[in-house]
Each structure stands twice: as structure tokens, then as C-alpha cells.
């Protein structure tokens, strides 16, 4: 297991990984509350970017509606918690199947009826919009008035019920990001990962090589939705409020995919690097501007746009493949 | 003895155009069978029907005793009938080796075992030294070889080769012919090939089917077929016949 995880990584890459791990592990000891909040945001996008990357980066199926799975995961766990006091880790056991079922419906409709490429992407947007409008009128979760979780007691950390201070949330999302990374690597280097990449590269040729493309595309959307659902649970318990208009909004779906695009679609480190670059720089920019007395709402979006423009023009494969070459480390399976 | 592949009065109509018109052919196990004919004769369409890329409008196709017409391409491949594409379709961003590993994983669970098998096939097809580079960087002849390697990796009983010699130099053609002959002799692999390179057809095929305008105009041993007046007129041409197959 360990050998399979570290296999293909150069000593240099391993050293870098260990160093990064140590810095992240001890960050809460040095970081102030603001920096910790930014780190949580970065790791959240690193996590959910990896989840999206499984579907698009590995299997080539473009989803522009991943807010759907975040929202479903968030609502299911938050509803079970507020209504029945079910702990989020148990709620996850319901949140994941609900998100997976949603993805299976979209996948089945698309792949059975030959909806592909741009049309598939539009279908994913459509379902996220259905959910946004539907939840806006769903009284059982307070419709557009929003669902609120009891505000955290900071006296002590309750990991089981995810009530606690930012440092606890930091470690939860850090662990989740590591788990997502390990899972991505295992998937990419296994049989299913090869089949996914074959489908991504040329679906007709993949079928001619005997791959049941319908089945493996279904696996891709379902695994991606399952991983994304946890991000929703985290979101609900970290922010303590849920509004359909916000959670299912298309801008949430777009935010999820910016990190992987900038970091490098289909690579293992790309989504993580993209999250650090994008969220890290955007927050730094915001902070600097506030420091000098500028309060410009929307500056972050403009900044995202500029980042995207630069990367698409200069490094169309993303920053990570370029950086990996500069550092002299080749990513194992890519 | 029943045929491994049996095509019975198969037709394919594209709106007004009858691309394949009631073609019947039996390919016995272990044979090397060539399909020749001018451009637009329906050769590739016939391949697409057999390989499951499209369903025939009429007729039946049986492979190893089971009806396969109407099956999807992946189901046909899993039954042991693999194909290459005339317009090659490698997985461009994957390495040469990974392209073949994908095929080898069809009947193997373990990636390591698939890699070993892929490497032995790459050696056979002279691609071993290029195994690390992305498939998109290969020259056309190398891509054609890669198509063959990937199809072979799926462990077929029958291999459909669509113009794998096109664009190869004569020495490369001879190598490919030798490779296919060895495979056929050592593993009993049945091969059906579409080919314009008559040098390869004459060297390889035990039987030849000639298509013209979607219909079978001749079938038989290569020597006999190339002397058939209808074949000479429609496909080979008088001068080629006189100079004895360029």
C-alpha cells in the first residue's frame, strides 16, 4: 500500500511533499484567525477541486454544476442535524448516497442518450439550477429563508458533532484534502484510472478497446459526486447557514473549477496548487487593498478573471505541469 | 468446420446509398483473410458492421457461434474481436506504453501484469524504445503499429486490421507482414485485413474477398483472384496486372 502510494514519486517530490505537510500541520500554531480562515478556504477549494478533477481531469466529463453535490451534501447533513440531532459524520452516510443518486440521474440521462461535451456541461448546469429553484420552495428546509445550524460553542471542540473553533475545522479539511489526494492517486494509477483516461482521450477508441464507456463514465460522475458531498457537509457545519440561492448558485460551481484549471486539469497536484495560488493571492490582494483604504467589492472576481486569462494564454495545461518540469519532478502517473 | 466469423447477406444503407450490399463471407479460425477493392467499395463500412461500430440494415453476423450484429463495439471486443482504425486513433496524451496497457487491462485486473504484457507487445512491434513518449509524438507508421499493439493487447481471437500498411516503406511493410505471420503461426490468431498494398496481401492472405460498389465481386485464393477479369477491371487495372503486382 505504502509502496504503491509512493511509487513513481522521485525523492525530490517526496521531500517537497513532506515539507509541505509539516508546514500545513503546524500552521494553526503560528497563524492568526484571519490567516487560518484563508487557509481553510484554500483547503476547501483544494478538496472540492480534486473532487471535480476526478470527473473532468481523469474521465473528461465536464461538469459546470458541481454546486449541486455540495448543496445536496450540505442540506442533507444540516437537515438531519437540526431536525434529528444526527451527527454530521453519520449524516454523511445519507448525504453521499443522495449526491450520488443525483449524479447518477444526470449521468444516466446524458450517457444513455448520447449527450456529450458542451451539451453535457449544460445539463449539469440545468440540474444545479433545478435544485436551486426547488430548494428555494422546499419548506421542510425553510425554503428561501435558509437553514441555520446552532452557532458553535467555542468552549470545547466536539469533533463528532463538528462544533468547535477554526483550528478544528482546519484540521478536518486538511485531513480531507490529504484523503482526496491519496484517493485520486490510487484511482488514477489503477485499472479504472486507465479506462477513464482512455475515455477522456478518445471515447470511440476506448470502446474499440473493449471498455464499457457508459459504465465507466457513470463511475466517474458518481465517485466525483460522493467526494464532493463531504465538501457540502463541511460547508454547512463551518458556515452554519445555508441558502439555496447561495449554495446552488452557478458562481459556486465556477469557483470550484477555477483552481483545477489554473493548477492543471487531470494532474494530481494541479487542483491543490490552483487553490493556493488563486484563493491565496485573491485574499492577499483583498487584504492589501483594505490596508490602503480601498474597499472594492468584485475585485476578487476581476482578479480571478485576470489569473485565468494569464494561465490560459501562457500555460494552457496549467501551472503544475510547468512547475513540475522546473522543479525537475515528473508527476508519477501523468 | 464452422467459421470463426460468419457474415451472411449483410447490407448497410446510408439513406439513398447502399454502402454494403448483401455481402456474405466465412472466415475459418486461424486464417489470414484479405478484403480488397477500390476506394468507396464499402470495405471500412463492412469492418464497422463486424466490429459493432454500426449495426447492419440487414443480414446477420456471427462470431464464434454467437450473433454479434447490433452489439456495441466494446461488447464485440470483449468477445475477442479487436480492430484497428484506418484513420488512427491513439490516446494522444497517454504514453505509448499506457496506450497498450489500456488494452491489456481488458482481461487483466492487475496494472503491473498488464504493463508486462504491454511491454512484450511493444517489443514485437518495434515500439519498445519509444514506450515513454506521448502517443501524439509518434510518426504515422509508428501510430499504425501502436494501433495493432493496442488491439492485440485486448487478447483477441480475431483481429480486424484496416489499412495498417498504408504509408509504410517497403522494408517496414515486410516487417509488419513478418510480425503478423508470426502471430498467426504462434498463437493461431485469425486476421482479417483491408489492404491496398498488394505486396502485403499476396504475402499474407490465404484468401481474398474483393468488394466493388458494396458488392462482393470475387472471392478465392490470392493468385486466382488477381487474374479474375472483373477484379482486374474494377480495381487492379490492366497495367498493374501486366507488370505483375507492384
Domain map (residue ranges) of chain B = 5-242
As a whole number of angstroms, the distance between CA B114 and CA A195 comes to 13
Q: Are strands B81-83 and B32-36 parallel, antiparallel or unpaired?
A: unpaired
Q: What is the ipTM of this complex?
A: 0.91
pLDDT in tens, A169-214: 999 999 999 999 999 999 999 999 999 999 999 999 999 999 999 9
The highest-level CATH class for domain B5-242 is: alpha beta
Residues 152-211 of chain A with CB under 8 A from chain B are 189-191, 194-195, 197-198, 201-202, 204-211
Determine whether the interchain pair B102/A211 forms a contact, defined as Cβ–Cβ distance below 8 Å: yes
One pLDDT digit (tens) per residue for chain B, 246 residues: 579 999 999 999 998 899 999 999 999 999 999 999 988 899 999 999 999 999 999 999 999 999 999 899 999 999 999 999 999 999 999 999 999 999 999 999 999 999 999 999 999 999 999 999 999 999 988 999 999 999 999 999 999 999 999 888 899 899 999 999 999 999 999 999 999 888 899 999 999 999 999 999 999 999 898 888 888 888 776 544 444 444
Would you call B29 an interface residue with chain A, using a CB distance cutoff of 8 Å? no
Q: Are A202 and B91 in contact (CB under 8 A)?
A: yes
By Cβ distance, the residue of B73, B94, B109 closest to A208 is B73
Domains of chain A and CATH, by start: 2-327 (1.10.3470)
pLDDT in tens, B45-88: 999 999 999 999 999 999 999 999 989 999 999 999 999 999 99
Q: Collapse the DSSP code of A252 into the 3-class scheme (helix H, G, I; strand E, B; otherwise coil) and give the result.
A: helix
Residue A235, classified by CB atoms within 10 Å of its CB into exposed (0-12), middle (13-18) or buried (19+), is buried
Instruction: Spell A264-302 as b/e; 16+ CB within 10 A means b.
Output: bbbbbbbbbbbbbbbbeebbeebeeeeeeeeeeeeebee
Q: Collapse the DSSP code of B141 into the 3-class scheme (helix H, G, I; strand E, B; otherwise coil) and give the result.
A: helix
Residue in B130, B161, B157 with CA at minimum distance from that of residue B147:
B161
Q: Collapse the DSSP code of B5 into the 3-class scheme (helix H, G, I; strand E, B; otherwise coil) and give the result.
A: strand
Three cell numbers at A115? 449527450
Chains A and B form CB pairs within 8 A to the count of 76
B100: closest CA of chain A, how far (Å): 10
pLDDT reported for residue A333: 39
Mutate to test the interface with B, among A7, A111, A185, A209 (most CBs of B within 10 A): A209
Q: How far apart are the first and last CA of chain B?
A: 36
Determine whether the interchain pair A205/B111 forms a contact, defined as Cβ–Cβ distance below 8 Å: no
Determine whether the interchain pair A208/B74 forms a contact, defined as Cβ–Cβ distance below 8 Å: yes
As a whole number of angstroms, the distance between CA A75 and CA A73 comes to 6
How far CA A31 is from CA of A21, A170, A225, in Å, comes to 15, 11, 32
By Cβ distance, the residue of A201, A207, A213 closest to B91 is A201
pLDDT in tens, A92-118: 999 999 999 999 999 999 999 989 989
Instruction: Classify residue A333 by its DSSP letter.
Output: T
B215: closest CA of chain A, how far (Å): 26
Amino acid at each position: 500500500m505504502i509502496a504503491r502510494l509512493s511509487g513513481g514519486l522521485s525523492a525530490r517530490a517526496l521531500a517537497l511533499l513532506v515539507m509541505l505537510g509539516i508546514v500545513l500541520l503546524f500552521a494553526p500554531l503560528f497563524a492568526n484567525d484571519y490567516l487560518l480562515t484563508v487557509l481553510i478556504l484554500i483547503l476547501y477549494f483544494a478538496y472540492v477541486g480534486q473532487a471535480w478533477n476526478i470527473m473532468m481531469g481523469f474521465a473528461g466529463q465536464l461538469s459546470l454544476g458541481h454546486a449541486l453535490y455540495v448543496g445536496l451534501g450540505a442540506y442533507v447533513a444540516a437537515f438531519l442535524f437540526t431536525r434529528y440531532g444526527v451527527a454530521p459524520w453519520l449524516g454523511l452516510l445519507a448525504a453521499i448516497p443522495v449526491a450520488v443518486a443525483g449524479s447518477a440521474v444526470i449521468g444516466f440521462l446524458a450517457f444513455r442518450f448520447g449527450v456529450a461535451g458542451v451539451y453535457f456541461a449544460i445539463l449539469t448546469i440545468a440540474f444545479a439550477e433545478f435544485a436551486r429553484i426547488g430548494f428555494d420552495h422546499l419548506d421542510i428546509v425553510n425554503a428561501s429563508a435558509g437553514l441555520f445550524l446552532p452557532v458553535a460553542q467555542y468552549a470545547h471542540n466536539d469533533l463528532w458533532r463538528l462544533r468547535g473553533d477554526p483550528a478544528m475545522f482546519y484540521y478536518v479539511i486538511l485531513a480531507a484534502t490529504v484523503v482526496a489526494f491519496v484517493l485520486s492517486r490510487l484511482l488514477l494509477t489503477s485499472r479504472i484510472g486507465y479506462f477513464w483516461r482512455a475515455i477522456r482521450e478518445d471515447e470511440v477508441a476506448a470502446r474499440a478497446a473493449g471498455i464499457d464507456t457508459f459504465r465507466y463514465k457513470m463511475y466517474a460522475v458518481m465517485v466525483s459526486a460522493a467526494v464532493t458531498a463531504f465538501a457540502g457537509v463541511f460547508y454547512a457545519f463551518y458556515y452554519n447557514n445555508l441558502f439555496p440561492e447561495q449554495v446552488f448558485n452557478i458562481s459556486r460551481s465556477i469557483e470550484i473549477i477555477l483552481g483545477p484549471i489554473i493548477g492543471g486539469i487531470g494532474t494530481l497536484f494541479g487542483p491543490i496548487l490552483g487553490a493556493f495560488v488563486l484563493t491565496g493571492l485573491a485574499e492577499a490582494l483583498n487584504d492589501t487593498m483594505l490596508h490602503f483604504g480601498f474597499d472594492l467589492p468584485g475585485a476578487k472576481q476581476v482578479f480571478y478573471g485576470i489569473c485565468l486569462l494569464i494561465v490560459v494564454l501562457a500555460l494552457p495545461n496549467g501551472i503544475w505541469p510547468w512547475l513540475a518540469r522546473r522543479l525537475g519532478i515528473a508527476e508519477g502517473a501523468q | 468446420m464452422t467459421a470463426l466469423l460468419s457474415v451472411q447477406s449483410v447490407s448497410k444503407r446510408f439513406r439513398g446509398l447502399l454502402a454494403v450490399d448483401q455481402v456474405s463471407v466465412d472466415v475459418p479460425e486461424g486464417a489470414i483473410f484479405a478484403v480488397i477493392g477500390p476506394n468507396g467499395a464499402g470495405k471500412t463500412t463492412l469492418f464497422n458492421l463486424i466490429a459493432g461500430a454500426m449495426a447492419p440494415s440487414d443480414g446477420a453476423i456471427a462470431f464464434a457461434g454467437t450473433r454479434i450484429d447490433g452489439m456495441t463495439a466494446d461488447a464485440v471486443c470483449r468477445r475477442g474481436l479487436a480492430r484497428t482504425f484506418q484513420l488512427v486513433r491513439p490516446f494522444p496524451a497517454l504514453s505509448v506504453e499506457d496506450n497498450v496497457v489500456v488494452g491489456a487491462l481488458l482481461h487483466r485486473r492487475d496494472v503491473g501484469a498488464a504493463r508486462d504484457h504491454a511491454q512484450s507487445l511493444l517489443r514485437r512491434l518495434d515500439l519498445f524504445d519509444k514506450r515513454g513518449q506521448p502517443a501524439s509524438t509518434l510518426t504515422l507508421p509508428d501510430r499504425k503499429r501502436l494501433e495493432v499493439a493496442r488491439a492485440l493487447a485486448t487478447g483477441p481471437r480475431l483481429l480486424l486490421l484496416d489499412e495498417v500498411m498504408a504509408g509504410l516503406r517497403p522494408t517496414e511493410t515486410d516487417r509488419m507482414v513478418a510480425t503478423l505471420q508470426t502471430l498467426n503461426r504462434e498463437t493461431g490468431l485469425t486476421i482479417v485485413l483491408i489492404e491496398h498494398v498488394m505486396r502485403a496481401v499476396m504475402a499474407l492472405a490465404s484468401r481474398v474477398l474483393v468488394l466493388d460498389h458494396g458488392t462482393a465481386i470475387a472471392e478465392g485464393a490470392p493468385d486466382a483472384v488477381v487474374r479474375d477479369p472483373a477484379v482486374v477491371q474494377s480495381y487492379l487495372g490492366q497495367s498493374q496486372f501486366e507488370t505483375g503486382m507492384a
